[in-house]
Amino acid sequence: MKILVIHGPNLNMLGKREPELYGDKTLVEIDTLVEKRARELEVEVLCFQSNSEGALIDFIQAQAPKADAIIINPGAFTHYSLSLRDALIVSDLPVIEVHLSNIYAREEWRHKSVIAPIARGQISGLGWRGYIAALEILAAEKA
Ligand code: DQA
C-alpha cells in the first residue's frame, strides 16, 4: 500500500510558524515521524510539500495512479482551492484531510473547508499526531 502525504503552503515554515498553534516540530521532523510509523505499519509513504497550488495538483496527477490513498493538509488552500479539490476528486483515491490546529476554534473563515465534502474524513486540532492517526486508519483499512 502506498500513501501520498501532501502538505500545502507555509507548512515548510513549521517549527518557526506560530508554534502555539502548529507546534514546535519542523516539517522534516513530522515527515520523519510519519515515515517511521509507515515502516512499522509496512506501508509506503511519499511526502511532498509545495507553496504552489499548481505544483500540488501536478504532484497529485503524477503520483495518484501509483498510490492507494492521500493524506493532505492543504494549508490555507483548504478554504478556497476548488482546483485542488477537483484534482483530489480526479485522483479517485480516499483522502484524509489533516489540520494541525483546530480550524473550528479559529477565525470564522477557517471553519469552511472546500476539501471536507470530498474527503473520507478530517482530523483537525490534534497536532502532528493527526498525520499518524490518518496513516494508522488507512493501514488498518487495507489489512
Ligand atoms: C492549517 C489550518 C489552515 O487554516 C492554515 O491556513 C494552515 C494550516 C492547519 O494545519 O492547522 O496553513 O491547515
Q: Report residue 84 CA to chain centroid gap.
A: 12
Tell me, yes or no, if 80 is annotated catalytic. no
User: Taken in order 22, 18, 5, 124, is the CA torsion positive or negative?
Assistant: positive
Given 99, 104, 111, 131, which residue is catalytic? 99
**β-bridge partners, 3:** 45, 69
Q: Listing from the earlier edge strand, what are the strands of the sheet with 121-124?
A: 44-49, 2-7, 69-73, 95-99, 121-124
Domain ranges for the chain, please list them. 2-142
Confidence class of residue 111 from pLDDT cuts 50, 70 and 90? very high
Long-range contacts of 103-106 (CB under 8 A, 24+ apart): 103/78, 106/21
Q: 142 pLDDT band (50/70/90 cuts)?
A: confident
In this structure, the number of other CB atoms found within 10 A of the CB of residue 14 comes to 23
> Ligand 1 pocket check: which of 17, 21, 53, 100 to mutate, most ligand atoms within 8 Å of Cβ?
100
pTM: 0.97
7 in ligand 1 pocket by Cβ < 6 Å? Answer: no
Q: What average pLDDT does the structure give for the chain? A: 97
Residue 96 three-state SS: strand
User: Is 7 known to be catalytic?
Assistant: no
Q: Which of 101, 112, 114, 131 has the most ligand 1 atoms within 8 A of CB, as the residue to mutate?
A: 101
Closest to 131 in 3D by CA, of 70, 78, 76, 77: 70
- Residue-level pLDDT at 130: 98
Q: What percent of the chain has pLDDT over 90?
A: 98
How is domain 2-142 classified at the architecture level of CATH?
Answer: 3-Layer(aba) Sandwich (3.40)
CA dist list (Å): 41 to 1, 28, 66, 127: 10, 20, 19, 20
Grid cell in block for residue 117: 465534502
